[in-house]
């Protein structure tokens, strides 16, 4: 089939709607990209978790020993179970709930900013991607999703970046083995925690409220945390672990990288940094619209199709071929960075609110800064970030 007749969006299409990116036809035209995401029957999400560079046998053995498996769950689910699983998780991240949590998010952001200021005063500079603001998204996620002590912060922090690199990077075989070890450690911990939650949930009994608010949502009840909701949705351990694995990874690491990108860009321009405290919403919209931490997302063709016009003419794909949709820097609002359609990112509102609060608190607390280094850039197929955001405070009036 040919993807044609896309609605007019009011934005100028690029010179070429489709270009190759690391061997994958990538849609730059936003209307065509939206059409792809709104048609999961033709452009399936099932392959979105398939490793960009095939995993070597040694890495696969490491994962196999942990029982690691990613059956269809959330982002990679094109089966009828997707609405059920999404419905189980969505209340935890609903816009209404995020708004209710905003004061707590702001408090955590302020704590992070004060931690960064103390480190900068002690050491002369601070890496905002790691210290202070860099730790806030993980703290928010574990509280908001009811992540128990069986998945401690240090484990989640050290496993997230390796998971993204293993599945969306181009690591060599030796590096893949190391990354697989980090993923296996997290996966094992999730399975252990799932068994504990599964044993506790029947004793709690009943369903929590459908909108994710009220006493069930925030009282720490096992049944209404992320794992408890997956259990109550009828997921077996393999499916629940698959859903939980990338939820806890992407639920904080992509926001940490989004914040790092916004801070790095603002710190490089004193006037932009000064505006963060006054209008963090504008800075957040800017980074989402033009430099999001998730620049593109993959789909898989389920049938032969003509995707669009490329450098050598019409781009034709066959069933099983990967394609990608560019989500940022394509002339669409920041909301497009979270995708459209039935697989739109569940955490979009949370990421936006966190970024706004972290940017404002950091700029307000640190005052003017000098950008010292952004480190080696993280440049994966579907994720990007500065490797560091090292800044030094400047005297007031500098």
Q: What is the DSSP string of 227-256?
A: HHHHHHTT--HHHHHHHHHHHHHHHHHHHH
Q: Percent of the chain scored above 90 by pLDDT?
A: 87
Tell me what pLDDT residue 2 has.
40
Residue-wise pLDDT for 1-32, tens only, equals 344 333 323 344 467 899 999 999 999 999 99
Other beta carbons within 10 Å of 191: 18
Least confident interval from 48-62, 215-229, 353-367: 215-229
Tell me what pLDDT residue 220 has.
45
Q: How far apart are CA 152 and CA 132, in angstroms?
A: 18
Q: Which of 297, 387, 393 is nearest to 344 (CA)?
A: 297
Residue-wise pLDDT for 360-398, tens only, equals 999 999 999 999 999 999 999 999 999 999 999 998 655
Q: Which of 297, 289, 281, 294 is nearest to 330 (CA)?
A: 289
Would you place residue 204 in the very low, low, confident or very high pLDDT band (cuts 50, 70, 90)?
very low
* Inter-CA distances, 364 with 113, 206, 326, 357, 395, Å: 9, 45, 33, 11, 14
Other beta carbons within 10 Å of 336: 24
Residue 205 or residue 187, greater confidence:
187
Residue-wise pLDDT for 328-358, tens only, equals 999 999 999 999 999 999 999 999 999 999 9
- Interval 93-106 mean pLDDT: 98
Tell me what pLDDT residue 397 has.
56
Tell me what pLDDT residue 360 has.
98
Q: How far apart are CA 70 and CA 48, in angstroms?
A: 11
> Residue 125 half-sphere exposure, CB side, CA atoms within 13 Å?
13
Q: Percent of the chain scored above 70 by pLDDT?
A: 90
Q: How far apart are CA 373 and CA 361, in angstroms?
A: 21
The strand pair at 24-27 and 322-326 is best described as: parallel
Say if residue 1 is exposed, middle or buried (CB neighbours under 10 Å; 0-12, 13-18, 19+): exposed
Say if CB 375 and CB 387 are below 8 A apart: yes
SS3 290: helix
Residue 211 has pLDDT above 90, yes or no: no
CATH number of 46-203+212-292+327-393, picked from 1.10.630.10, 1.20.120.1770, 3.40.50.970, 3.50.50.60: 1.10.630.10
Least confident interval from 5-14, 136-145, 298-307: 5-14
- Interval 90-105 mean pLDDT: 97
Please tell me the pTM assigned to this model.
0.91
Tell me what pLDDT residue 16 has.
86
How much is the CA Rg of the chain, to the nearest whole Å? 21
CB proximity list for 140: less than 8 A, separation 6 or greater: 101, 104, 105, 108, 252, 350, 354
Question: What are the residue ranges spanned by the domains of the chain?
Answer: 46-203+212-292+327-393
Rounded to the nearest 10°, the torsion over CA 192, 198, 201, 202 is -150
Q: Which residues are registered as beta bridge partners of 373?
A: 390
Q: Which residues are registered as beta bridge partners of 194?
A: none
């Amino acid at each position: 089939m040919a993807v044609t007749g896309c609605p007019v969006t009011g934005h100028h299409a690029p010179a070429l709607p489709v270009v190759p990116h690391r061997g994958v036809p990538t849609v730059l035209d936003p209307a065509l990209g939206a059409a792809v995401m709104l048609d999961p029957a033709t452009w399936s999400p099932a392959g979105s978790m398939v490793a960009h560079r095939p995993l070597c046998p040694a890495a696969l053995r490491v994962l196999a020993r942990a029982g690691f498996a990613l059956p269809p769950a959330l982002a990679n689910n094109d089966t009828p179970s997707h609405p059920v699983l999404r419905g189980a998780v969505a209340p935890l991240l609903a816009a209404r709930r995020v708004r209710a949590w905003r004061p707590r998010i702001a408090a955590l952001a302020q704590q992070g900013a004060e931690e960064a200021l103390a480190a900068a005063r002690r050491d002369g500079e601070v890496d905002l991607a790691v210290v202070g603001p860099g730790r806030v998204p993980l703290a928010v996620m574990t509280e908001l999703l009811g992540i128990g002590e069986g998945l401690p912060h240090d484990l989640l922090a050290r496993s997230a970046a390796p998971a993204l690199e293993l599945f969306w990077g181009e690591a060599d075989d030796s590096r893949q083995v190391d990354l697989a070890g980090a993923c296996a450690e997290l996966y094992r911990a999730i399975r252990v925690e799932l068994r504990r939650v599964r044993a506790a949930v029947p004793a709690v009994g009943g369903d929590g409220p459908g909108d994710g608010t009220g006493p069930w949502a925030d009282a720490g009840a096992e049944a209404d945390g992320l794992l408890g909701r997956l259990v109550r949705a009828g997921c077996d351990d393999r499916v629940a672990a698959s859903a939980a694995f990338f939820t806890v990874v992407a639920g904080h690491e992509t926001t940490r990288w989004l914040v790092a990108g916004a801070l790095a860009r603002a710190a490089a321009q004193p006037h932009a940094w000064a505006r963060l405290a006054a209008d963090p919403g504008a800075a957040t919209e800017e980074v989402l619209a033009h430099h999001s931490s998730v620049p593109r997302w993959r789909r898989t063709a389920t049938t032969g199709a003509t995707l669009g016009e490329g450098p050598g003419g019409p781009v034709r794909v066959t069933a099983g071929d990967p394609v990608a949709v560019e989500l940022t820097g394509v002339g669409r609002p920041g909301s497009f960075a979270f995708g459209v359609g039935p697989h739109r990112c569940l955490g979009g509102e949370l990421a936006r609110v966190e970024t706004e609060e972290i940017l404002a608190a950091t700029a307000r607390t640190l005052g003017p800064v000098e950008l010292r280094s952004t480190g080696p850039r993280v440049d994966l197929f579907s994720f990007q970030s500065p490797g560091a955001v090292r800044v030094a405070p400047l005297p007031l009036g500098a």
